[in-house]
Every structure is written in structure tokens, then in C-alpha cells.
Amino acid sequence: MIQRLSIHGLTERKSGWGRVFEPPAITAPRGSKIRPQPHPFNLVFFVIVTLWCWALQNNEARAAQSFANIVESVQPQMVKIYGAGGIRGLEPYQSGFLISSDGHILTAWSYVLDTETINIVLDDGRRFEAELLGADPRIEIAVLKIDAIELPFFDLNEAVDLNAGSRVLAFSNVFAVAAGNEPVSVLHGSVAATTKLSARRGAYATTYHGAAYILDAMTNNPGAAGGALTDRRGRLAGVLGKELRNSLDNTWLNYALPIPEIRSSVNEILAGNSRPISSEPDRRRPIESVTLASLGIVLVPNVVEKTPPYVDRVLPDTPAAEAGVRPDDLVLFVNDRLVNSAKILQEELLYIDRIDEVRLVVQRQQQLIEVSLFAE
């Protein structure tokens, strides 16, 4: 009850307490009659607890109190992420936060991660290279891992739910203002609405269609994606989304993904279920496996180390053509396994028997499309 934060919450709680507990309020002081000679020690307890209750209450109401202590307690969980980009106005950095003591980092799934070397800078300035453990492009999140232990972290299971009106703090390395051991930026605001992101063509085009906290603060700027949204006590509530522009009226939407929307995906990634099979040891290949040719797909030429698996051509009268795969589709998943390069995609197919189903998730502009193919 006391954890309710908004002014609305406060009002609800008061009426609740008043109704249920008013009678005991009269009898409670008479408790001393039951114990005619109260020990001074107990009186001290009594005073302390009363003061404690008063303090809690007061805390809750002290709207003008500085967030400084809360901000300080959150900052050590935040990380700065540096990766691909730097051209065509694509900033080569974004934000993230630790979700385990041994170096798991939750962030936004974006082009920044599309590189061999993802660099992480912790709040204390320590630098690490991160491994991409997995991603869920459908909700635009990714999990990274660095080789470190005993780190402060946000426990996703302890994340709080927010309502419209809840006051929030947004932590991110927006515009890469902070470097090294400098703490990331903090903005404040309120949840304006809890709703689903509707992806209308042209207006706020996004691949994420789930529930979202719409925020009244300018949280979603370059570099802010993957940052942490907390309640006003610094408890994790969401992940800051990407920049989202309405191309019709040029307005921008600031939003965050509620933790419950992404928790299961994160757990899947942590369990290793989204990693390519080819990365797992002791996996047997079928005698006859699927090939790109048998599906009718020609990828763009594999020229660099991590060429993204874009479809260059779809051959006529093939399974791919029948299933509606199109040129310029970007293949993201093969049978729920993340494939973030042409090389990994080809290796992944080696583990699928020619007679089995091949499920692909492809990205076509801002849409994610799932298709099912049979090579034979």
C-alpha cells in the first residue's frame, strides 16, 4: 500500500485506511491498560515505530524533495554502450543497464549492436567488450554479457508497475553527454498513458506493438534507447524505447517498454534459447540439410565479416517465392534462433533437416513477418 506513489494512489490509500482501521485507532492506545506497567524500552519502540510511520508518510508526500539520493543509488547500474554507426546521422552509441551481478546487460536491439566489437563503459569508468547473447527484434530488446562479477544490478523480477500519473525518472546516456566515469543523464516526468503502441503506416512506424508507457518527458533522444525508466524511488519499471517520429506531423513520441512485456523474452535469451544452434557444441547435423538454394533465396553478397542477411533475390517457383519472401527482406530469425549475419544464417540452415519446417522471421521496413517454408 505504502508503495503507491501517485497522488491518486495516496488518495485511494487514505480512504482505505480510514475505513478499515479507524475503530482500532481508538482502542489501540488502551493497549497500555493490558500492560499496566509498560517497560520504558517498549515505549521507546513505540515512539520509534510511530516516527517511522510518520516519516514514511511524509516521504511519500514530499513532492519537492530532491531525487539526489535516489539518482545516486541507480547510477551504478547504468552502462554506456558504443558500437556501430557514426554515419548518416546514426549515432554509434546507446544506453543499457545491468540485470545480473555477473555482467548481463539489457539494452535496445538496434544497429549499434550490429558490429564485432560492442564496447561497454560502466558507471565507475571500467571498460569491457561485450558479447551479444541474444535479441528479440519483435520487442526491440537485446541482452549483452560482459566478463565481470559482483556488479550492482536491477532485478527484473522486482520491477514495479506504473499507472498514468506515476512520476518517473529516465536514466540514459542521451547524446553521449557522459563519458568514462561520468554519470549518465537523468530526466524526470510522468507516465502520460499506459497503452499499446499502434503502428500505423507512416505515423509512429515501429516494429514494437506491445504495451508501452507513454511519457511526458523528452526521454527518447539519440542514444537514450535502452536506458532505464524507474519510479520516483529508483525502482526499475521499464526500458526506454527508440526515437519514434510521426512522419505525418513531425511529432515525436517518448515511450518505454514495461518490464513485464519483455521479461519472458529476456529469460529465453538468458536460457540460451535464442542463440544460433551452430554456436552450441555437440549438435549433430542432419545428413541432408536445408540450403538457401533449396529455399530459393539469394542473399546480398557476403563481403564483410558481419554482412546482414538481406535477401537480394527470390527465385521464381521456389518455396520462398510461394511463402512471399521478397527482395530487401532482412532475415532475423531461423526457427526462433537469432541470425545476425549471412554467415550465421547459412550455418544455421546446416542444422535443419531437408524435410523439416523452416520458420523465418523477416523484417520488411518496420514490419516483422513470419513465414514458414519447406524445402521439399
Partner 1 sequence: MSKLVQWTAAIVIGVIGCSMADIASGQVADAVRDAEQQRIQAVAKAVVSAVAVFSADGNGGGSGVVISPDGYALTNFHVVQPVGDYMQCGMADGRLYDAVLVSIDPTGDVALIKLFGRDDFPTAELADSDDIRVGDWCFAVGNPFLLATNFEPTVTYGIVSGVHRYQEPAGTILEYTDCIQTDAAINPGNSGGPLFNSEGNLIGINGRGSFEKRGRVNVGLGYAISINQIKHFMGYLHSGRIVDHATLGATVDADEEGRVVVSNILESSDAFRRGLRYSDEVVAFGGRTIDSPNAFKNVLGIYPKGWRVPLSYLRDGTRHDIHVRLAGVHAREELLAKIQEAPTDEPPPKPAPQGEEDKPQGDGQEKAPPKPHGETAKVPDELQQYIKHRSGFANYYFNELNRSRVWNAFHDAAGDFAETRGEWRLSKGEEFSITLGNEESAIKTTTAAFSLNREKDLSEQLEPQGSGGMLATLHLWRRMLVEGPTAFGDVVYVGRAPLIGQEGLYELFQGTYDVVETHFYFDPMSGELRCVEMAPDPGVDPCELQLFDYRDVEGKKLPHRMLIRHGDEDFLDLEIQSIQLSKTAKPEA
Which positions lie near partner 1, rule CB under 8 A? Answer: 10-11, 14, 17-18, 21-22, 24-25, 28-29, 31, 34-35, 42, 45-46, 49-54, 57-58, 60-72, 75, 88-89, 125, 169, 174-175, 177-183, 185-188, 217-219, 221-222, 252
Q: How far is the CB of 190 from partner 1 (least distance, A)?
A: 13
Q: How far is the CB of 52 from partner 1 (least distance, A)?
A: 7
Q: How far is the CB of 375 from partner 1 (least distance, A)?
A: 44
Nearest to partner 1 of 121, 323 (CB atom): 121
Nearest to partner 1 of 252, 327 (CB atom): 252
Nearest to partner 1 of 204, 351 (CB atom): 204
Q: How far is the CB of 373 from partner 1 (least distance, A)?
A: 39
Nearest to partner 1 of 3, 69 (CB atom): 69
Nearest to partner 1 of 90, 271 (CB atom): 90
Nearest to partner 1 of 76, 222 (CB atom): 222
Q: How far is the CB of 26 from partner 1 (least distance, A)?
A: 9
Of 77, 121, 70, the C-alpha closest to 100 is: 77
Cα 258 to its chain centre, rounded Å, is 8
Nearest to partner 1 of 104, 242 (CB atom): 242
Nearest to partner 1 of 128, 351 (CB atom): 128
Of 13, 317, 229, 265, the C-alpha closest to 135 is: 265
C-alpha cell of residue 299: 542473399
Q: How far is the CB of 286 from partner 1 (least distance, A)?
A: 48
Q: How far is the CB of 54 from partner 1 (least distance, A)?
A: 6
Q: How far is the CB of 189 from partner 1 (least distance, A)?
A: 8
Strand-pair partners of 122 = 79
State which amino acid sits at residue 316: P
CB contact at 8 A, 81 and 94: yes
Which backbone phi and psi does 158 adopt, to 5 degrees?
-105, 10
